[in-house]
Each structure stands twice: as C-alpha cells, then as structure tokens.
C-alpha cells in the first residue's frame, strides 16, 4: 500500500500543526515532562476516557505511585482502589503488571526498544508509539481516537475506520507525517487538534490551521468523514442486591478473578433479567434471600426495596434494586464467583474498592452510617 503524499504538503501540515500547538495546546499534567512512567500511566488512563476525567486521577496516582518501582511494589488492590471510578479496571491491573515487568526485567527503567515495549502487558501499537515518541522522541506514528479523525479528514479517507485496510492506511499516513525532529510534540499536536478543533461533529474548520491542506474540507466532506458508526441499542439488564445488616455491621462480598469487576467489593447481588454483563454466578432461578445465602452463607430476612439505581456498563444498561436485609443466622462462606465475604463497619466501606454503582448505593443508605 502506498499513499503518494506530496513532500510540500507533508512539510506544510507539520509546520502548521506544530505552530498551532505551541500557541493553543492545553497545559496538561502529563505534558510537563517526558518521563516514560508518566507517559504510560497517562496514556493508559486516557484510553476510552476523557481528559477532564483523567486529570485528577492522574495527579493522585503519580503522587501516590511516583515511579515503576513504587507501583510494582504496591498491592494490586490498592492500585485498583486508586483507579476506582475511572472504569475499565483491566487497565489498572495491566499497568501494575507492566510495572512489575519493567522492574524485574529492565531494572525499573522503561526500555526504549519497540519490541520490548510492545511486549509489556496492556501495551499495543498506539501505546508503544506514544511512549517512543513522547518519552524518547523517536519518530514513531500514533493513531488513537483523536488523531484518527484528523488523519481521515486530512486525506479524505472514506469508509469505516475500524476496518483493517482503512486502519492500515491511517497508520501509514501517521508514519509518513511524523517528523524526525520533535516527533513527540508533533504527535501530541495531532491529538490536540482532534480534541480541540477537528471535533467529531461540526469541526471548527474556520480556525483550523490545516484547513487549506485538508482534502475532506476541499471536497466538502468534513462532516461525512469519518463515517458515523451505527450504535447498537443498549441491552437492558435487571439486578437485585441485598444490603444485609447484623447489628451495626453490613455484609459485603469480594468478587473473584475474571469479569469486569475482578477483586471489587459489593453487596451480594443476583442477576434477574437480560444479558448478564458482570458474569454473575446466580441468575433468575433464585430469589434474593436464597441468593444471599448461596453467596455468603448468611440467612437473611429480605425486606422492602430501599433504593433503585441505573448504571451503564459496556453495552448494557442496568436497573439495580437494593433491598434491605437483616441477618438471621449462618456462618460466612464466600459462594460461587467470590473470594471473600465479610461483615464490615459501614464507614470502612470507604477503604474497599467498589464499583460506582455499589458506591452510590452505600452513599444513599444514610441508615448505614
């Protein structure tokens, strides 16, 4: 595959883009230095997550875990707890695993070799390009959500950007464009233009530094590229959980390996209806009282609903109803899919990693305090 890009056009794009970036870029905390650790942390957080959501998490995370050695030595539960609320928790586990590898195999320093970098857990083609260009100023291309849109428009690439051949064309374009001089700054600029100017809908072409060089704009296709992706309707799910108390204590369980919320704590929950996003062990054939007993060993009298919430996870839209329960008898015994079941003081829930749904339920049950 070849793109046959004009040298003057390439030079024009680079100069205009970097000039604009120097004037207009946001002062984001991960742009203050070129520490490969901070590049890996920030880029991992930024996958599928907005800059606005990431900034406070990033600041807290690098204060608490300032380098590979500290992160590698930290308890995985503590790392996931620092990630709580950011979603896609597999990223936190992979980041921890990557830190362990950097320490055990490379003495705590990120290697600058593309093959070694790509072999780290959670590091794909984009992340490797980001580390090599941002931290080591290597002329390596990047394509992520923002730059993909900029590249597709610049070259008027039509079709679904998820398809293999189109992705390859965009990577090739990124490779041709990235300059030998300050490639990291150029790649950040590509991302920044996509975030601030070349927006998904109604791109601000009037203020775009690349407007006169943009092939989509020349053809009047800037709104038609990239092609809109049809969004499937969310899958409806119904769940129930029990907030069971015994005296002043409340019953929580810890989920085992696998699934979306590995090692997270929650109130004992059963899946009642629809496609199950959480891989729950107990489904519609048990009622909540029986579910609590199977999940925890505790027999409880289940009462009225105390709170209903809705949350979205991956392609699911979940309605979760919490019922109050009072323990009658039983010894704690974690059931299927769980690694622990405990009675805890309500105020110590704050120390446990919980999904945002669990956290919302805990916060709304003022009688738990």
Q: Which residues bind ligand ADE (CB under 6 A)?
A: 28, 43, 46, 51, 144, 188, 191, 195
Q: Between 189 and 208, whose beta carbon lies closer to ligand ADE?
A: 189
- Give me the helices (H) in the chain, please: 7-24, 36-46, 51-64, 68-73, 76-83, 90-106, 114-118, 125-130, 136, 145-154, 164-177, 183-196, 215-218, 288-296, 356-364
What's the CA gap between 280 and 237, in Å, rounded? 12
Q: Which is nearer to ligand ADE, 171 or 261 (CB)?
A: 171
Closest CA to 116 of 105, 103, 100: 105
Instruction: Round to whole Å and give the CA distance between 214 and 222.
Output: 9
Q: At closest approach, how far in Å is the CB of 269 from ligand ADE?
A: 33
Reply yes or no on whether 345 is catalytic.
no
Q: Which of 23, 43, 59, 273 is catalytic?
A: 43
- Nearer of residues 144 and 240 to ligand ADE, judged by Cβ: 144
Nearest to 18 by CA among 199, 155, 185: 185
> Positive or negative CA dihedral for 197, 198, 204, 209?
positive
- Identify which of residues 190 and 318 has a Cβ nearer to ligand ADE in the complex: 190
DSSP secondary structure, 188-202, as one string: HHHHHHHHHTS-SSS
Cβ proximity to ligand ADE, 28 vs 249, nearer residue: 28
- The span from the CA of 369 to the CA of 265, in Å, is 18
| Residue 194 C-beta: closest distance to ligand ADE, Å | 9
Residue 32 or 247: which CB sits closer to ligand ADE?
32
Longest dimension (CA), the chain: 79
Rounded to the nearest 10 degrees, what angle do helices 90-106 and 36-46 cross at? 160
Q: State the nearest-atom distance from the C-beta of 40 to ligand ADE, in Å.
A: 11
Alpha carbon dihedral 328, 331, 332, 337, in 10-degree steps, equals -90
Q: Which is nearer to ligand ADE, 192 or 240 (CB)?
A: 192
CA distances from 115 to 67, 122, 132, 147, 358 (A): 22, 14, 11, 23, 40
Cβ proximity of 222 and 216 under 8 Å? yes
Nearest CA to 197 among 44, 11, 32, 16? Answer: 16
Which residues are designated catalytic? 43
């Amino acid at each position: 595959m070849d793109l046959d890009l004009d040298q003057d056009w390439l030079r024009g794009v680079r100069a205009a883009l970097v000039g604009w970036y120097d004037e207009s870029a946001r002062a984001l905390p991960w742009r203050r230095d070129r520490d490969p650790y901070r590049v890996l942390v920030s880029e991992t957080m930024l996958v599928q997550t907005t800059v606005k959501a990431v900034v406070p998490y990033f600041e807290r995370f690098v204060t608490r875990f300032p380098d590979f050695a500290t992160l590698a030595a930290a308890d995985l539960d503590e790392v996931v707890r620092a990630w709580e609320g950011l979603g896609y928790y597999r990223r936190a586990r992979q980041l921890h695993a990557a830190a362990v590898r950097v320490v055990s195999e490379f003495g705590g320093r990120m290697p600058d070799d593309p093959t070694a970098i790509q072999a780290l857990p959670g590091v794909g083609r984009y992340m490797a390009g980001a580390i090599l260009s941002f931290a080591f100023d290597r002329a390596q291309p990047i394509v992520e959500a923002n730059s993909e849109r900029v590249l597709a428009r610049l070259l008027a690439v039509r079709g679904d950007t998820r398809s293999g051949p189109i992705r390859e064309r965009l990577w090739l374009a990124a490779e041709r464009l990235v300059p030998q001089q300050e490639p990291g700054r150029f790649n950040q600029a590509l991302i920044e233009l996509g975030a601030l100017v070349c927006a998904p809908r109604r791109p601000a072409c009037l203020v775009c530094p690349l407007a006169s060089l943009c092939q989509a704009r020349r053809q009047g296709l800037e709104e038609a590229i990239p092609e809109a992706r049809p969004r499937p309707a969310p899958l409806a799910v119904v769940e129930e959980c029990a907030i069971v108390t015994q005296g002043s204590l409340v019953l929580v369980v810890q989920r085992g390996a696998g699934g979306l919320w590995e090692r997270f704590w929650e109130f004992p929950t059963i899946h009642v209806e629809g496609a199950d996003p959480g891989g729950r062990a107990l489904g519609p054939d048990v009622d909540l009282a029986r579910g609590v007993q199977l999940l925890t060993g505790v027999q409880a009298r289940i009462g009225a609903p105390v709170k209903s919430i809705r949350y979205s996870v991956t392609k699911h839209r979940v309605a979760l109803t919490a019922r109050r329960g009072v323990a009658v008898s039983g010894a704690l015994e974690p059931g299927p899919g769980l690694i622990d079941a405990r009675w805890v003081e309500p105020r110590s829930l704050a120390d446990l990693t919980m999904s945002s749904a669990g956290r919302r339920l805990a916060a709304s049950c003022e009688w738990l305090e």
